Chains A and B, each alone.
Chain A
Amino acid sequence: MPEKIKLAYLLAGGCAGCDMAVVDLSETLLDVLPHLDIVFWAPTVADVKYKDLEAMPDKSIDLGLVSGMIRLAEQEHMTRVMRRKCKALVALGACASLGGIPGMANMHTKKDIFDTAYFDTYSTDNPEGITPQTKCLVDGKYELTLPEFYENVRPISAVVEVDYFTGGCPPHHSFVGAALMAVLEGKLPPPGSWLTSGKAVCDVCSRNPGLKGQERELIKEVRRVVDGQPDQEKCLLQEGYICLGAVTQGDCNAQCPGVNIPCRGCGGPIPGVKDFGLRAVSAIAASMADEKLVDQIDCPAKLFYRYSLPSSILGGKLK
């Protein structure tokens, strides 16, 4: 292990859940800290400003972590700065790697989103029929500006080259710890890969009929979790609860099926898959006993692309 690894952390457009996963390392964090020289962690832990990061020599930081997706110019800019300064760049979590849940906004136009937020919601009071403006004059004298709201959300790989991807929304703190250790010990796969055990959620799910030496049966009816209480042992998918565990990386140890809830794919696609949603479509369709059943799946785009719409081939709804 080298003496000290220089580390930088940037939160782009996420919910800070990935950051909390790092905080949740708790005492482990204190154990790792001596091995780290945190040169930038905006804006929490280290008091280093954006401009200081910009002033650092290129490639002077060993490892950069970026969580969150890109919606605004600043997020894009800072992600690019991180790329220049860091030898290795890791996309931490579903937002950074795939676009994440906020990426579902790509199903709607900017106008739709504004109309909902500023006109249609019940408690909205908008007597003058206005929307926030990038430039406006308040009381005739105070000029105020706002950043532009981009049309779409993007994963960070859309603006920079990413060395390693990690899934999870957020990644489990023990997985964050393991990934950090792998980096500290230099045990890394080739650049461009996902840091993952490589196993699917199904592979680590105790419900998997295959692991119990049973045959997988085809689905005969589609159920929502409000329709019934799943058996504690049986495969959720086989019972008709659409579960995406077959195409999702299982670094979470199948946490959702563990509490009787189907997987929604936050771990990201299993290796070799370019478009998570399309692979999920194939896997789910293949598990159905007949073709009519697929009509019972509600809002397929927001199910199959729950965490990955911006990184899909189409990137979002065609507008």
Chain B
Amino acid sequence: MKRIEINPMTRLEGHGKISIFLDDTGNVENAFFQTVELRGYERFLRGMPIEEVPRTVSTICGVCRGVHYTASVKAADSVYNVEPTPTARKIRELFLNAHYVEDHCAILYALGFPDFVAGPTASPAVRNLIGLIEIVGVETGRIVLKKRRSAVRILEMLGGRPIHPVAALPGGWSKRVTEEERQEILALSQDLVELGQMTLQVFDDVVLKNKGYMELVLGDIYKVVCNYAGTVDDQNRVQYYDGTQRIINSKGEEIGRFQGKGYLDFIAERVLPWSYLKMPYLKKIGWQGVEDGEASSLYCVGPLARFNVGSGYDTPLAQEAYLKMREALGKDPVHNILVYHWARAVELLNAAEKVRQLAGDESITSDDIRAPLGEAVGEGVGIIEAVRGILIHHYKTDKRGIVEEANLIVATTHNKGPINVAVRRAAQSLIKDGKVDEGILNMVEMAYRPYDICLACATHTLPGRQPVQIDIYDSQGRNYQTLKNF
């Protein structure tokens, strides 16, 4: 197979790009998911004081408004070799969980549900947020937006700003929570729990009760067999703010656990000549290429990975929903990627319950918000379970805490390999004998949408449709057709 003509670069930059190559019979031989932007944070953080880093790296992504911030402040703690005070830890955990609610809500309603509520092959014109509001009704839309706003309000109260917060400091938090604020958060948390319950109900009604959808969910088109990594506590329950990173293989066997700098023993990021985003793989298995299956060294992260890696959730309502999932899906790792959305809905409830728990604890208003800092020890790793998966921030500094080097591995990066496989698989199942149409684009989109590829973290996106262009080449390497959703 060769390409004889090189098309001028299409104007698809800063977004995702998929190239599909057909063989002589018009079937898919290979496909590539390319990420085409790079912003250089790892470089320009150098020279900045570490306490300025959280509010700066937050702008890696405005959708993931709470995660880069939290991971980097944990790294800043370890740069000073200090634990945040118990109160500060509670505030941070509350903050992160409120962000989970708000983000999962945006993703499910703007991105996950439209496929199901409007139908996977419905016109793209209705498969979006506004279309969804039209279908479920403005009143329901209003309720969802209102309850989600309660989460945003909590973020603003704690972080100082609703997006790109500023209150985190190494060893603590810059402002204490007053009793009135705690009361307000407690009241708002009721909205969040209701939002969680309501969302699971929507999922139940729309997806689980629909036989056709369930066949799609559990079928082979949207399935990637790989390893999984996620964060758990000492009882293997899913954790977000802190815990141990656990890795399992596709059969569910534990491959390893790490914390902090230990990530370097497990994860390496391969540079590829065809994408600005590197492709991580499990070091212990060794680079096996962009393939899934039992021998694969690719792993994925995010809600489904957490579901597979963990043994449940640490709040009662979410645990109940978890048991129901397990009952439906069995006890082995689930490789069906549309299940991501289901796990996401359960996590929304889990995070909402945690917000309520934390706000119910009066000690969160105590004034020990900052631990004393000594000289910087000069290196720190901060790992959290971001909404989209494990997020690693690693800094080296001088004794004064001025950044000298930075290494960031974001959730979408971990998923780069599996997404590539998912897209190839969907294309292979859907494009036959050279027949390609717009419906295929929808279906291919459904292959990467569950990962909620926050290319903002690598590039940028909206809580809506990931802008993607698909270039299809025939066996002569000629551009056969181009599909795009933007």
Contact = CB atoms under 8 A, between A and B. Distances in A.
Contacts of A173: 162
B273 A16 contact: no
Contacts of B96: none
Contacts of A130: 271, 273
A224 B145 contact: no
A74 B12 contact: yes
B317 interface: no
Interface stretch (A57-65, A105-113, A185-193): A105-113
A216 to B, nearest CB: 23
Given A45-B128, A133-B273, A105 B39 contact: yes
B267 A16 contact: no
Contacts, number: 293
A261 B166 contact: yes
A13 B14 contact: yes
A15 B273 contact: no
A14 B460 contact: yes
A42 interface: yes
A229 B106 CA distance: 36
A20 B13 contact: no
Contacts of B275: 132, 146
A259 B175 contact: yes
Given A74-B12, A170-B62, A146 B462 contact: no
Nearest to A21: B163
B276 interface: yes
Interface residues of A, number: 93
A147 B174 contact: no
Interface stretch (B146-154, B193-201, B234-242): B146-154
Interface in B39-60: 39-40, 42-44, 47-52, 55-56, 59-60
Contacts of B429: none
A15 B62 contact: yes
Nearest to B126: A47
B408 to A, nearest CB: 8
B14 A117 contact: no
Interface residues of B, number: 106
A215 interface: no
A43 B466 CA distance: 7
Interface string B245-288: 00000000000000000011001111111111010100000010
A1 interface: no
Nearest to B5: A143
A144 B274 contact: yes
Interface of B: 1-3, 6-7, 9, 11-14, 19, 21, 30, 32, 34, 36-40, 42-44, 47-52, 55-56, 59-63, 65, 80, 106, 110, 124-125, 127-130, 133, 138, 141-142, 145-146, 148-149, 152, 159-164, 166-167, 169-170, 174-175, 263-264, 267-276, 278, 280, 287, 370, 373, 394, 400-402, 405-407, 409, 456, 460-467, 473, 477, 484-486
- Nearest 10 interchain pairs by C-beta: A17-B62, A44-B464, A259-B160, A147-B13, A113-B40, A125-B268, A74-B13, A72-B13, A44-B462, A26-B149
Interface of A: 11-21, 23-24, 26-27, 29-30, 38, 42-47, 49-50, 68, 71-75, 77, 100-102, 104-105, 107-108, 112-114, 116-118, 120-126, 128, 130-136, 138-139, 141-149, 169-170, 172-173, 224-226, 229, 252, 255-256, 258-261, 264, 298-299, 302-303, 306
